[in-house]
Amino acid sequence: MTTDQLRPLSELQALESESIHIIREVAATFASPIMLFSGGKDSVVMLHLAAKAFWPAPIPFGLLHVDTGHNFPEVLQFRDEAVDFYGASIKVAAVQDYIDDGRLRERPDGTRNPLQTLPLLDAISEGRHDAVFGGGRRDEERARAKERVFSMRDGFGQWDPRNQRPELWSLYNGRHLPGEHVRVFPLSNWTELDVWDYIAAQKISVPTIYYAHEREVAFRDGMWIAITDVTPARTSEAVEVHSVRYRTVGDMSCTAAVLSAASTVHDVITEVGLSQLTERGATRADDRLSEAAMEDRKREGYF
Amino acid sequence: MQQRSPVLSPATKLTGGRTLLRLATAGSVDDGKSTLVGRLLFDTNSVFADTLDHVEQVSKRKGLDRTDLALLTDGLRAEREQGITIDVAYRYFATPARKFILADCPGHVQYTRNTVTGSSTADVIVLLVDARNGVVEQTRRHLAVASLLRVPHVVLVVNKIDLVNYSEDAFTAIATDFALLARSLGVLETHCIPVSATEGDNVVTRSHRTPWYDGPTLLGHLENIDDTRLAVGADLRFPVQHVIRPQSAAHAPWAARAPEVDGDYRGYAGKIESGRVRPGDEVVVLPRGSHAVIEAIDTPDGPLDLAVAGQSVVMRLNTDIDVSRGDILAATDAPPAPTRDLPATVCWLAERELTVGARVLVQHGTSLTKALVKSIDGVLDLDFESGTVPCWRPTVSLALNDIGRIRLTLASPLPIDSYREHRATGAFILVDDADGWTLGAGLAGSTPLSAKTTDNMRPEPVERHASTSSARMTPSTDQHHTARQGKPS
């Protein structure tokens, strides 16, 4: 045996194997898992890993998307294509339905991200899902850095960061009481750059808005906001056309673009490698609400 | 969709490039651990402008005259408000050669719980001391825990070297004391580095203020630690996670290899915990003891002619024998003998106490077994001096953060390795059957720490795990009681 064959696994091999191990543990030990899928790059990578974990059998659980009604049309189209491509099935929980029948009200600032929590928790309890996969990564945000791979949620879907189970070796403990559920984060140890490196290595498709394209934008609160039906230009605002791309693809009302000429995956990797802004800080108005914005939403049962 | 071309040869695309190294930190309250971690992140350009902006603002608000890098590691609101660290946090940084996952373990509250958690997955433990104080009680405790958990490499960071005027004598005295401590605890691989995290000396950048030190910087050392995993050289252990028996092939246009499923496909999915395997290798299926030959190692990227520790794969066997979740495919040479009598060292991580007669669940590999605490044989007294070893003292119960020696009686025989030899398959966790809480971390076999017993203690139990190859598994008499998770036997 040559030493070449016995060299340690590469970073991507190790991360992929760890994620697949986590996904299989869930499928083998929970009654009704479901995987959150938005069409965003992290969830596509997670779906790709799920497909690899069970090959040549199909993915043994369904997908769930909480649609704010403010999603980019390109992303919704991609979502449906990707579901077909990976032979999966998806259920969509619509925030718009909740607004229409009065269970939720629009916020004064127009952002719908915080409104996703209720439809999400309803879908989890209606489907009696005991495990919910999310694409969250620990490098994304300060509160996430402390989150377990298997993260317990109480009967109200709440996270208690001060009372988490220790997580040892790769022995994931998903036992829980009836009514509770477990959020599972297979990409916990991936960084934004790892995700892009993996997308390049495995030739994974992602929505077109992750790559540079020309778009009408306005500079608002220090960020480039796309001019859309949801986010029309304000009267005093100058609308400009720029080459932009998105680093995250949340709700149109709170996701901003970055100026970029990165039109291929390799351009994006170069750009991410050099980037001086965290992806959430650069482009997510919802995390700017307060210093502990993400922690507050996570405690309430957000992704 | 864009770039929909089928995956060509991703198996080769995923190999090469950076490797991964897992670190855990340990240190007591004022050793400057947060500043060191902040410095590592800052000097490897792992801090983004907006995060740094935020930390600069907070530093100013606090009236500091320079940016407090320790603030980079603040996580939860309660931590910021109280200026403490509550829980293990995970940090990521990378160099062109290597990606690092750092488990940042708080040193003061719950230090055993946090250090055990961080050490369980660590390749390297980064232990801090204050150059003014040297090796203190907490250092000895942390190293004892790291030694117990068999973390392969230890780095001692002698921090705040600026506060002893970059004194070589101070550093040498601490390094000598530490070497004595490490030797007595059986820790072989150690390295000491003089550092000032605040000033940035020898963290990422070599300091000109320590001309007497000719070793690497902390980052340089971490980049060069030999990562040819010991596990790869060890015997094969492959806990079966999931049996893959598709009725029909998956719709998989994304896969490099079209699935060929003829209705008889039966593959065993899992992650190789140690060793390596090739098609044609003979394996023993534990705990039953039947033998089989590996027919193929499948992945959607193509079949493998060699798979090693750390890889998630699907194995096919040459015979149609009963294999299910909870079983382990092992090398035929010296497989662990399934046993219902399990002596172990346990790190107790729960508020409730452990007493003799308690009923718990043992989660090991991919199996879950009921167990009864037959005896509690001692608790480790971590108050000891460098050059001596910690003592086991008699006790009737284990409390939060205690490390104890216990004996468990298992409801079904478990093929469990000695932790000393197999870190992954010698480890288990204790789980509360009622509420599911993780109660403790278990290390199978007689204690891996070279500790002595007090006069009124029983002597060390003899190592149960006989490493003879005679162990053609004789099925244990009570095998019909087997109640592994999710499968009536």
Which ranges of chain A would DSSP assign to H, the alpha helix? 11-29, 41-54, 73-85, 95-100, 117-126, 192-201, 265-274, 279-283, 293-299
pTM of the model as a whole: 0.89
- Asked if A172 and B273 count as a contact pair (C-beta separation under 8 A), the reply is no
Work out the pLDDT band at B416, boundaries 50, 70, 90.
very high
CB contact under 8 A, A11 and B99: yes
Q: Which residues of B touch A146 (CB under 8 A)?
A: 75-76, 86-90
Shortest Cα–Cα distance, B210 to chain A (Å): 32
State whether A108 and A180 are in the same domain.
Answer: yes
- Asked if B94 and B41 count as a contact pair (C-beta separation under 8 A), the reply is no
- Asked if B424 and B273 count as a contact pair (C-beta separation under 8 A), the reply is yes
Last residue of a domain, one of A147, A171, A195: A195
State whether A150 and A237 are in the same domain.
Answer: no
Q: Examine domains B17-227 and B231-331 and report if their fold is the same.
A: no
Characterize the bridge pairing of strands B367-381 and B391-393.
antiparallel
- Asked if B374 and B410 count as a contact pair (C-beta separation under 8 A), the reply is no
Higher pLDDT, B482 or A189: A189
Shortest Cα–Cα distance, B443 to chain A (Å): 11
Tell me: the pLDDT tens digits for B369-386?
A: 999 999 999 999 888 887
CB nearest B436 (choices: A82, A177, A206): A177
CB nearest B250 (choices: A9, A55, A176): A55
Work out the pLDDT band at A141, boundaries 50, 70, 90.
confident
Element (H, E) at B228: none
Q: From residue B124, give the alpha-carbon distance in Å to each of A242, B158, B224, B489.
A: 47, 16, 12, 40
- Percent over 70 (pLDDT), chain A: 88
DSSP state of B355: E
Element (H, E) at B58: helix B49-61
State whether A143 and A265 are in the same domain.
Answer: no
- Asked if A34 and A26 count as a contact pair (C-beta separation under 8 A), the reply is no
Per-residue 3-state assignment (H helix, E strand, C coil) for A245-260: ECCCCCCCCCECEEEC
Residue A36 has pLDDT above 50, yes or no: yes
Tell me: the pLDDT tens digits for A51-105?
A: 999 998 999 999 999 998 888 999 999 999 999 999 999 999 998 899 999 899 9
State whether A48 and A104 are in the same domain.
Answer: yes
Q: From residue B232, give the alpha-carbon distance in Å to each of A178, B190, B192, B201.
A: 40, 22, 27, 36
In terms of average pLDDT, the best of A285-299, B42-56, B129-143 is B129-143
**Per-residue model confidence (pLDDT) at position A275:** 64
Work out the pLDDT band at B14, boundaries 50, 70, 90.
confident
**Per-residue model confidence (pLDDT) at position B358:** 97
- Asked if A68 and A35 count as a contact pair (C-beta separation under 8 A), the reply is no
Closest residue, chain A, to B55 (C-alpha): A291
Q: Which residues of A touch B14 (CB under 8 A)?
A: 10, 12-13, 16, 201-202
CB contact under 8 A, A28 and B92: no
Characterize the bridge pairing of strands A90-94 and A62-67.
parallel
Per-residue 3-state assignment (H helix, E strand, C coil) for A146-158: HCCCEEEECCCCC
End-to-end CA distance of chain A: 46
Domain ranges of chain B: 17-227, 231-331, 339-481
Work out the pLDDT band at B258, boundaries 50, 70, 90.
low
Q: Is residue A302 part of a domain?
A: no
- Partners of B308 in the beta sheet? B276
Q: Which residues of A touch B437 (CB under 8 A)?
A: 165
CB nearest A27 (choices: B89, B242, B245): B242
**Per-residue model confidence (pLDDT) at position A255:** 83
Give residue B145's region: left, alpha or beta (phi > 0; psi -120 to 50): alpha
- Asked if B293 and B318 count as a contact pair (C-beta separation under 8 A), the reply is yes
Amino acid in position A236:
S
**Per-residue model confidence (pLDDT) at position B108:** 67
Q: Which CATH architecture has domain B17-227?
A: 3-Layer(aba) Sandwich (3.40)
Q: Is residue A297 part of a domain?
A: no
Q: Please give the Cα distance from A86 to B4 (Å, whole number).
A: 12
CB contact under 8 A, B17 and A10: yes
Q: Give the residue among B241, B245, B248, B236 at the shortest CA–CA distance from B279.
A: B236
Residue A151's domain comprises 11-195
Residue A7 has pLDDT above 60, yes or no: yes
- The listed CATH number (2.40.40.20, 1.10.760.10, 3.30.420.40, 2.40.30.10) that belongs to domain B231-331: 2.40.30.10
Last residue of a domain, one of A135, A168, A195: A195
Q: Please give the Cα distance from B128 to B154 (Å, whole number).
A: 11
Amino acid in position B365:
G
CB contact under 8 A, B15 and A13: yes
Q: Is residue A74 part of a domain?
A: yes
Q: Please give the Cα distance from A186 to A18 (Å, whole number).
A: 8
- Among A76, A141, A142, A275, the strongest candidate for a mutation testing the B interface, having the largest count of B CBs within 10 A, is A142
DSSP state of B453: E
Residue B149 has pLDDT above 70, yes or no: yes
Q: From residue A215, give the alpha-carbon distance in Å to each of A212, A226, B88.
A: 9, 7, 42
CB contact under 8 A, B75 and A164: no
Q: Which residue has the tokens 């960084």?
A: A191
User: Among the listed ranges A95-99, A232-236, B401-405, which one has the minimum average pLDDT value?
Assistant: A232-236
CA B90 distance to own-chain centroid: 14
Q: Please give the Cα distance from B393 to A203 (Å, whole number).
A: 58
Work out the pLDDT band at A168, boundaries 50, 70, 90.
very high
Tell me: the pLDDT tens digits for B452-461?
A: 444 334 333 3
Characterize the bridge pairing of strands B397-398 and B452-453.
unpaired
DSSP state of B304: B
DSSP state of A287: G
Q: Please give the Cα distance from A148 to A168 (Å, whole number).
A: 10
Shortest Cα–Cα distance, A205 to chain B (Å): 6
Q: Give the residue among A28, A31, A18, A24 at the shortest CA–CA distance from A176.
A: A31
Domain count, chain A: 2
State whether A165 and A212 are in the same domain.
Answer: no
State whether A101 and A156 are in the same domain.
Answer: yes
Last residue of a domain, one of A142, A165, A195: A195
Average pLDDT, chain A: 87
Q: Which residue has the tokens 């499948």?
A: B298
In terms of average pLDDT, the best of A217-226, B97-106, B137-146, B339-348 is B339-348
Q: Is residue A103 part of a domain?
A: yes
CATH superfamily, domain B339-481, is: Translation factors (2.40.30.10)
State whether A225 and A179 are in the same domain.
Answer: no
Half-sphere exposure of A111 (CA within 13 A, CB side): 14
State whether A227 and A272 are in the same domain.
Answer: yes
DSSP state of B93: E
- Partners of B79 in the beta sheet? none
Tell me: the pLDDT tens digits for B176-228?
A: 999 999 998 888 789 999 999 999 999 999 999 999 999 999 999 999 998 65
Per-residue 3-state assignment (H helix, E strand, C coil) for A133-197: ECCCCCCCCCCHHHCCCEEEECCCCCCCCCCCCCCECCECCCCCCCCCEEEECCCCCCCHHHHHH
Q: Give the residue among B271, B324, B280, B323 at the shortest CA–CA distance from B299.
A: B271
Taking residue B228's Cβ as centre, other Cβ atoms within 10 Å add up to 12
Q: Which residues of A touch B120 (CB under 8 A)?
A: 168-169
Tell me: the pLDDT tens digits for A239-255?
A: 999 999 998 887 787 78
State whether A179 and A230 are in the same domain.
Answer: no
Characterize the bridge pairing of strands B98-104 and B19-26.
parallel
B275-309 exposure pattern, b = at least 16 Cβ within 10 A, e = fewer: bbbebebebbbbbbbbebebebbbbbbeebeebbb
Q: What's the ipTM? A: 0.89
Q: Please give the Cα distance from B428 to A170 (Å, whole number).
A: 10
Q: Which residues have CB under 8 Å from B117's CB, separation 6+? A: A166, A167, A168, B88, B103, B105, B441
DSSP state of A203: T
State whether A133 and A252 are in the same domain.
Answer: no
Q: Which residues of B touch A7 (CB under 8 A)?
A: 228
Q: Please give the Cα distance from A279 to A259 (Å, whole number).
A: 13
Structure tokens at A161: 């960061």
Residue A280 has pLDDT above 70, yes or no: no
CB contact under 8 A, B242 and A165: no
DSSP state of B161: G
Give residue B395's region: left, alpha or beta (phi > 0; psi -120 to 50): beta
Q: Please give the Cα distance from B328 to B272 (Å, whole number).
A: 10
Q: Is residue A270 part of a domain?
A: yes
Residue A226 has pLDDT above 90, yes or no: no
Q: Please give the Cα distance from A245 to A214 (Å, whole number).
A: 9
**Per-residue model confidence (pLDDT) at position A22:** 98
Q: Please give the Cα distance from B37 to B85 (Å, whole number).
A: 13
Q: Detail the DSSP E strand segments found in B108-152.
A: 124-130
- Among B77, B151, B277, the strongest candidate for a mutation testing the A interface, having the largest count of A CBs within 10 A, is B77
Phi and psi, residue B98, nearest 5°: -155, 145
Taking residue B319's Cβ as centre, other Cβ atoms within 10 Å add up to 10
**Per-residue model confidence (pLDDT) at position B83:** 57
Residue A122 has pLDDT above 50, yes or no: yes
CATH number at residue A151: 3.40.50.620
State whether A69 and A188 are in the same domain.
Answer: yes
Residue A5 has pLDDT above 60, yes or no: no
CB contact under 8 A, A21 and B271: yes
Strand order in the sheet with A223-226: A223-226, A213-220, A240-245, A258-259
Closest residue, chain B, to A85 (C-alpha): B253
Tell me: the pLDDT tens digits for A190-208?
A: 998 899 999 999 999 999 9
Q: Which residues of A touch B101 (CB under 8 A)?
A: 189
Characterize the bridge pairing of strands B124-130 and B153-159.
parallel
Residue B12 has pLDDT above 50, yes or no: no
**With an 8 Å Cβ cutoff, is B37 touching chain A?**
no
- Among B3, B121, B487, the strongest candidate for a mutation testing the A interface, having the largest count of A CBs within 10 A, is B3
State whether A170 and A28 are in the same domain.
Answer: yes
Q: Which residues have CB under 8 Å from B462's CB, separation 6+? A: B446
CB nearest B310 (choices: A5, A17, A205): A17
